[in-house]
Amino acid sequence: MTKTNAGYFFEDYQVGQVFRHGPLRNVEEGERALYQALYPTRFAVAVSDPVAMALGLEGAPLDDMIVFHKVFGATVPDISLNAVANLGYADLRWLKRVPPGSALEAVTRVIGLKQNSNGKTGIVWVQTVGLDAQGDEVLTFVRWVMVRKRDVDAPAPETVVPDLPEAVPAADLHVPEGLDFTHWDKVGVRAPHRWGDYAVGEVIDHVDGVTLSEAEHMMATRLWQNTAKVHYDVTSRPDGRRLIYGGHIISMARALSFNGLEGAEFMAAINAGAHANPAFSGDTLRAWSEVLEKAETDVPGVGALRLRLVATKGGEAGALKGEDGKYLPDVLLDLDYWALMPI
């Protein structure tokens, strides 16, 4: 009898099933430094105690994406080890900022199932919650993945498709506790644009490019404890190439977006996300953003921008889909998220 985890197959999931993915694990200053070494991020709050404190926080929290990666990574052995594809995200909200030295864990509930018509795979919808050592929720999100069946003859489950919001309503965005942008102009962040300077429909070309390398994406993916074989093992794909973890592309694109969105210090929610095409070492990644919506929050001075963040390996800023409605071949990521910035 094998003692290794073969992962779950489609017929192993039931609606209502709950996974506690593993123990609490520390996230520390070392992760913060690695994050800066791996991604060209220059947002200030996540790396500066003086800036964070001048804005009403207790100290610099970890970058929002570190929290996402840690919670997401913890779910991989149970949710996506046998996934054919990570199909989408919805209703992702950051609920509490996480200081270095915290410990995090993740719990997931299966909320939907639908066998595909080919009978070989099915779609699993899950809701994951990240928790800290105090038991407080720090992050919540829904994702759905296509998972192989172990036995194609296993009966199809009753189809349950969850009702998901197209986007997180601005009223549901959580503003970090204590956040106050009153002293924003004095903290030294060179952010020439405020919330009021952005217009719906505006496209921002973030200009800079980063050529991806194997060692970097593997180190990142390992740091988040994402164990999916395709990221590490050249023998796991017919083409002998290591597929770059989609979250690595999100972090890279978000980091590049600093150039043009310097004041968008916090991510508050992810409304939707698609990894449009696979990314590989050697690709040169660029990013552009489109302003989709603007909203005020319930905290004075804190505005919300709903942004489309697109990562590409070529092509013009603003080019997303072809006439056939499909993503252009150079588009790697199409992410719809809410950022918070000073009004």
- 12-41 residues in contact with its own copies (CB under 8 A) are 20-26, 28-34, 36-40
For its own copies, the binding residues in 240-259 under the rule CB under 8 A are 242, 259
* Cβ nearer to its own copies, comparing 272 with 285: 285
Q: How many CB atoms lie within 10 A of CB 118?
A: 9
Size of interface with its own copies, in residues (CB under 8 A): 73
* Cβ nearer to its own copies, comparing 13 with 39: 39
* Cβ nearer to its own copies, comparing 261 with 272: 261
For its own copies, the binding residues in 138-167 under the rule CB under 8 A are none
Identified binder of its own copies from the candidate list 71, 147, 223, 341, rule CB under 8 A: 223
For its own copies, the binding residues in 84-123 under the rule CB under 8 A are 103, 105
- Phi (first) and psi of residue 260, to 5 degrees: 125, -20
Least gap, CB of 22 to its own copies (angstroms): 6
Identified binder of its own copies from the candidate list 177, 207, 316, 326, rule CB under 8 A: 207
Output the DSSP codes for 118-185: TSSEEEEEEEEEEEETT--EEEEEEEEEEEE-S-TTSPPPPPB-----SS--GGGPPPPTT--GGGGG
For its own copies, the binding residues in 66-85 under the rule CB under 8 A are 77
Is 215 near its own copies (CB under 8 A)?
yes
The β-bridge partners of 309 are 289, 335
Alpha helices in the chain (DSSP H): 29-38, 49-54, 64-79, 214-223, 246-256
With left for phi above 0 and alpha for psi between -120 and 50, is residue 71 left, alpha or beta? alpha
For its own copies, the binding residues in 261-300 under the rule CB under 8 A are 261, 284
Task: Please list, in sequence order, all residues whose beta carbon lies within 8 angstroms of the beta carbon of residue 140, skipping any fewer than 6 positions away.
Answer: 91, 92, 93, 95, 127, 128, 129, 130
82 in Cβ contact with 7 (< 8 Å): yes
Is 218 near its own copies (CB under 8 A)?
yes
Identified binder of its own copies from the candidate list 14, 133, 136, 318, rule CB under 8 A: 133
For its own copies, the binding residues in 174-193 under the rule CB under 8 A are 187-190, 192-193
